[in-house]
Amino acid sequence: MDKIILNGAKFYGYHGLFPEENRLGQRFEVNAVLYLDLKQAAKTDDMNASINYGDVYQRIGSIVEGEAVNLVETLADKIADELLGQYGRLEACLVKVVKPDPPIPGHYESVAVEIYREREK
């Protein structure tokens, strides 16, 4: 299966269970893998046979920077639903939402949630 991959899209949002996360906000990073057939796009050199990843970035940003949710799981699911709902060519997507600085003690690089969703047949 062909893929379009958006790596390390960075946004600022107000998601989380703790009041300070909702008040102060924090950084989020999103990776998205879009599964679709790119054969026609490659043969015709026509963007209409693909998905504009600039538009994908904007849609993801509007969700991450939009209405706050408690769980990163919810945020990832909302992104996947938006992508599958907006792009008819998209057969499936893998969405990873990373919180580089969650308010939990310890030494780690980040925490993340990754979900895979397919278009319902």
**pLDDT for 27-55, tens place per residue?**
999 999 999 999 999 999 999 999 999 99
Which domains are assigned to the chain?
3-118 (3.30.1130.10)
Q: Where are the beta strands (DSSP E) in the chain?
A: 3-13, 26-35, 92-99, 111-118
Active site residues: 99
% the chain with pLDDT above 90 = 86
Global model pTM greater than 0.85: yes
Of 17, 11, 7, 35, whose CA–CA distance to 94 is shortest? 35
Give dist(CA 119, CA 81) in Å, integer.
Answer: 9
% the chain with pLDDT above 70 = 100
